[in-house]
Structure 1
Amino acid sequence: MAKATKKQALGRGLSALLQDPDNDIQSVQDKNADKVIGNIVELEIDSIEVNPFQPRTNFSEESLRELASSIKELGIIQPITVRKLEFNTYQLVSGERRYRASKLIGLKTIPAYIRIANDQESLEMALVENIQRQDLDPIEIALSYQRLIDEIQLTQEQMSERVGKKRSTIANYLRLLKLDPIIQTGMRDGFISMGHGRAIINIEDTTIQLDIYKKILANKLSVRETESLVRNYNDTQEVEVSPKKETVDETPKFIKKGITTFSEYFGHKIDVKVSKNGKGKITIPFHSEEDFNRIKKLVEGAK
């Protein structure tokens, strides 16, 4: 308890130092910079502005209230990180949830690590620290990686080193940005998982992507069921009805027109046989019990 009190008092002492206009610190070479930069300082919340480079765009009100309650009870366990802009003015680098929650309960000051960084360094710090520490949704993470590529000019290999993730993991997130925007929104809102998205991305046609997305929602398909649906769809892209001895020499136009629709819906190559009197038979194959149950769900959902 004594150590905590001493640390808090030190932070308040540094805060007073920062409010002295005659000792304004603007670079690491300035007097007393070593006492402030990298240390925990109690800053006035009103002197801190939100970081425009913040990759997180969704903040759950319920989650913020829960965090605010925890801060009110236990205090802020992990300080936020800010960069110094000018005299007594700072900008968030990371910790916006803690900052918002603290304002929610009316705190006047907040413990913060102070850094000095230019805009590009601030953007990189915000993106990297958020990817590492925050529970971003898959699309927000993908957008953060893309911004590191576009605005910081980092390669996937360099990003791998910065965030401690495998290059293949980063590539998988970036591929999600090829999904139709409606599907991306569904992932951000939690209607489907990243696993669903990774399965759907194997189909280039966004119209078909949306069709499969609707089937996932309507039939509550699992990731494995979605993977099977996509795999079977890709296997039926060149669906043709071969003439058989018991069929007419030329397949009727209405069957040619409808067989692709059947195949896309059930995710399998559908076999159609037609006799000379116009009667026929449709065969729907399945490859496993799981596949059978998936088809059953599709039929039940159509009732």
Structure 2
Amino acid sequence: MAKATKKQALGRGLSALLKDPSNDISSVQDKNADKVIGNIVELEIDTIEINPFQPRTNFNEETLRELASSIKELGVIQPITVRKLGFNAFQLVSGERRFRASKLIGLKTIPAYIRIANDQESLEMALVENIQRQDLDPIEIALSYQRLIDEIQLTQEQMSERVGKKRSTIANYLRLLKLDPIIQTGMRDGFISMGHGRAIINIDEQSKQLAIYEKIITNKLSVRDTEALVRQYQNNSTPKSKAEPEELPTYIKNGVKTFSEYFGHHISVKVSKSGKGSITIPFHSEEDFNRIQKLVKGAK
């Protein structure tokens, strides 16, 4: 207990040092930089801004509340990492869940490691750390890899060294970004697995990808079943429906994609010769139904 108290007091002392304008540290060569850089410092939460380069976009509210409850009982066990922007101003590099959970319960300070890094280094640190997390969905990981390629100009070989993954593993994630956006959303929401996505990606035509996706959801197909279905499509032996659907008017064809992207599902439309028709919006769970309901309410 005495060691913990001493460590905490040290963090508060370093925090006071950072608030002293005469000791403003902007590089590793500055006076007292060695006392701050790499050490745990208690920072005021209000001095920390969210990292705009954060690749993670989904934060589950329930797990965030659970983490907040844990922090309330035990404190922040693993410090966040920030980079120094200016005098008493910092930007989050990693640990956004801990940061959000701490704000949720009204903490005024949070333990942090301080780094001095430019924007590119900050982006790379955030991306590499997030890729190594266990709770990211496959699309978030794929997008992080793509950003390392686009914005840091890393090759797949360099990424393999940075994140400790085989090049073939990185390539498999990147291929997922060729899936129709609706299927990517389904993977992020947990309706299908990465195994399903890797099977579907062998079909180039996105309309056929969506047809397979619907069959997976409707019939609760396993990855193995999906692979067999994909082979059927590739061999042009897909079972035909009992009644061939009539050709849809152009205005409906153009609108279906917009509807599908908005609701996150492939929307089916039926229309009679008189011009009257119906729109079907599928949902896969109570949670999914509530999500669609919120979209409809928000559009009013």
Percent identity over paired residues: 86
Post-superposition Cα deviations, 1:149-171, rounded to whole Å, max 9, x if no partner, equal 00000000100111111111100
SS in 2 for 1:261: coil
Q: Which of these residues, 216, 229, 240, is aligned with residue 261 of structure 1?
A: 240
Considering only CA atoms, is the larger Rg found in Structure 1 or Structure 2?
A: 1
Q: How many residues align?
A: 243
The one-letter code of the counterpart of 2:53 is: F
Q: Tell me which residue corresponds to 2:170.
A: 170
The one-letter code of the counterpart of 1:195 is: G
Q: Tell me which residue corresponds to 2:21.
A: 21
The one-letter code of the counterpart of 1:77 is: I
SS in 1 for 2:25: coil
Which consecutive unaligned segments of at least 5 residues does structure 1 have? Answer: 240-258, 266-303
Seen in structure 2, the aligned counterparts of structure 1 residues 134 and 121 have a Cα distance that, compared at 3 Å, is farther
The one-letter code of the counterpart of 1:32 is: N
CA distance in 1, matches of 2:91, 2:135: 21
Q: Tell me which residue corresponds to 2:289.
A: none
Q: Tell me which residue corresponds to 1:149.
A: 149
Shift of 1:7: 1.0
CA distance in 2, matches of 1:133, 1:7: 27
Shift of 1:133: 2.7
SS in 2 for 1:29: coil
Shift of 1:224: 0.8
Shift of 1:32: 0.3
Q: Tell me which residue corresponds to 1:139.
A: 139
CA distance in 1, matches of 2:227, 2:143: 24
CA distance in 2, matches of 1:122, 1:151: 12
Q: Tell me which residue corresponds to 1:301.
A: none
The one-letter code of the counterpart of 2:56 is: R
Which consecutive unaligned segments of at least 5 residues does structure 2 have? Answer: 245-300
TM-score normalised by the chain length of structure 1: 0.78
Shift of 1:49: 0.2
TM-score normalised by the chain length of structure 2: 0.79
CA distance in 1, matches of 2:129, 2:144: 11
Seen in structure 2, the aligned counterparts of structure 1 residues 80 and 15 have a Cα distance that, compared at 3 Å, is same
Q: Tell me which residue corresponds to 1:74.
A: 74
Shift of 1:261: 2.8
Q: Tell me which residue corresponds to 1:122.
A: 122
The one-letter code of the counterpart of 1:3 is: K
Seen in structure 2, the aligned counterparts of structure 1 residues 179 and 72 have a Cα distance that, compared at 3 Å, is same
List aligned pairs for 1:192-203, cutoff 5 A.
192-203=192-203
CA distance in 2, matches of 1:73, 1:235: 59
Shift of 1:235: 2.1
Shift of 1:262: 5.4
CA distance in 2, matches of 1:152, 1:174: 16
Moved more, 31-40 or 132-141: 132-141
Whether 1:186 aligns to 2:191 is no
The one-letter code of the counterpart of 1:164 is: G
The one-letter code of the counterpart of 2:240 is: T
Shift of 1:136: 1.0
The one-letter code of the counterpart of 1:140 is: E
Whether 1:32 aligns to 2:11 is no
Post-superposition Cα deviations, 1:282-302, rounded to whole Å, max 9, x if no partner, equal xxxxxxxxxxxxxxxxxxxxx
Once superposed, which parts of structure 1, at least 4 consecutive aligned residues long, lie more than 6 Å away? none
Shift of 1:134: 5.1
Q: Tell me which residue corresponds to 1:94.
A: 94
SS in 1 for 2:132: helix
Shift of 1:232: 2.3
